Amino acid sequence: MRKYLLLPIILFSAFIHAQNDVSVKVGAELTDAYFPLLKGKRVAVMTNQTGMAGEEHLVDLLKRNHFNIVGIFSPEHGFRGTADAGEHVASSIDEKTGIPIWSLYGSGSGKPSADKMEQFDVLLFDLQDVGLRFYTYYASMARLMDACAEHGKKMIVLDRPNPNGM
């Protein structure tokens, strides 16, 4: 009986060990792919506290590499993720970076104004979704894609794996 119990334990341990050796790189970490597209451009970023490139926040990474970040669009829970669901998120200035934060949530349309659209050349989108179609981040991305198309702006989506594995 011990033999039969030992085999599944060994196989399970091997499986867990193999899974730990897998390294996934998210879009924000693939700087060779998107940094050249940002050079010399006025960059807007749509992200929140989940926008991490390894141990560093995407906005900090961009600032450290001297990109011209003109504004940060914030989703439902705000740029730093501190607002409750449904809470009005106002536009403001990020205390850490001094970059303007443009709220998309609570304005009604979910789209940036024409004035905001004129302030940037390229929009960098990096939000970790929860893997559900009805979640607001998916809708925010679709609205921003529409706005960029309407105003002739480029949009780069930094992909992240679905946390549900689908």
Task: Tell me if 114 is assigned to some domain.
Answer: yes
Asked whether residue 19 is assigned to any structural domain, the reply reads no
Task: Tell me the CA distances in angstroms from 2 to 5, 8, 9, 11, 71, one per residue in order.
Answer: 5, 11, 11, 14, 63
Q: What is the pTM of this model?
A: 0.81
Residue 82 lies in a domain: yes
For the segment 92-142, what is each residue's pLDDT rounded down to a tens digit? 899 899 999 998 865 567 789 999 999 999 999 998 866 666 667 778 889
Query: Is residue 34 included in any domain, yes or no?
Result: yes
- Tell me: the pLDDT tens digits for 14-23? 665 555 556 7
Q: Which residues contact 18 (CB under 8 A, 6 or more apart)?
A: none
35, part of any domain: yes
CATH number, domain at 31? 3.40.50.12170
- Dist. CA 93–CA 101, nearest whole Å: 5
* Neighbouring C-beta atoms of residue 91, cutoff 10 Å: 16
Block residue for tokens 């979910």:
110
Number of domains comprising the chain:
1
- The domain of 94 spans 27-157
